[in-house]
Amino acid sequence: MEGLGKLTQVAVVVRDIEEAAERWARLLGVPKPQVIETEEWERTRMVYRGSPSRGRAKLAFFNLGGVTLELIEPIGGPSTWSEFLGEQGPGIHHIAFVVDDMEAAIRKLESEGGVLVQRGDFEGGSYAYVDARKTLGAIVELLTFKRSTT
């Protein structure tokens, strides 16, 4: 594995996703996106800081061409999103990259001082958050997508 690849997303954790989505839509001059909720643990198999967690989130996505702006409102149990919101308040939570090899990308970030804090599945793929704020100044999300077999 050489590099992480192309930056695909910047995400902001918010307290009220409806209000935040309306404000961002006005600022960007685009329609307010649909707000969705992440699935339950039985589908996501989310692990937070080494333990299963029922933490969930409300999400809204603004497609801005080459990069997506994601808004995240934590709900439910413990998660990196609720931890961030509790410690720092609303703000930029992570930058995301699509990777082909999740485990190799995690190892690469760990070699740079990152710590795997959360991972799980979503319909069509999986994700992992590696906290590299101490060494790289950011939490990095890694995304993989299942390849279509048809």
Q: What is the tens place of the pLDDT at every residue in 69-92?
A: 999 999 989 999 999 999 999 999
The three-point CA angle 68-114-20 to 5° equals 30
Lowest mean pLDDT among 53-62, 80-89, 140-149: 140-149
The residue with tokens 């995400």 is 11
The residue with tokens 């909720």 is 37
Mean pLDDT of the chain: 94
pLDDT for the residue 13: 98
Pick the CATH number of 7-145 from 3.90.230.10, 3.10.180.10, 3.40.50.10310, 3.40.50.620: 3.10.180.10
- In the numeric block, which tokens belong to residue 132? 């590299």
Mean pLDDT on 49-67: 96
Q: Give the separation between CA 75 and CA 77, rounded to whole angstroms.
A: 7
Q: Radius of gyration of the chain from Cα atoms? A: 15
Task: Report which of residues 111 and 76 the model is more confident about.
Answer: 111
Model pTM score: 0.92
State in Å, rounded, how far the first CA of the chain is from the last one: 27
